[in-house]
Amino acid sequence: MAEQISSERVQKLDEAKEIIAEFESHEDTQLVGARDALFEASRRIKYDGNFFENVERAMGITAGIAINAGYDEIASDASQLIEELEEELLNDG
């Protein structure tokens, strides 16, 4: 069971990383704050609250900057991932 949870969380990290990379491919910048939050999430993958908090922070940063830059689809993807994480946290808790 713990292995399945870790695998699902790695998948969420990959999804978040892809969303960040998509934004960065359009802009000549790195989302350092979002990447830092993902790094923290990866270090705390086994700790529910810390993991979810850090991935949500990364996607919140990404969504905000994407909206500001006019990349609504990327912002929507980031928001969708936040929604999925919150739903997962509610179902697990």
15-63: per-residue pLDDT in tens? 999 999 999 999 999 999 999 999 999 998 887 788 999 999 999 999 9
Distance CA 62, CA 33 (A): 9
Distance CA 25, CA 30 (A): 9
Instruction: Please report the pLDDT score of residue 93 as a whole number.
Output: 58
Check whether domain 2-6+31-92 has CATH 1.20.58, yes or no: yes
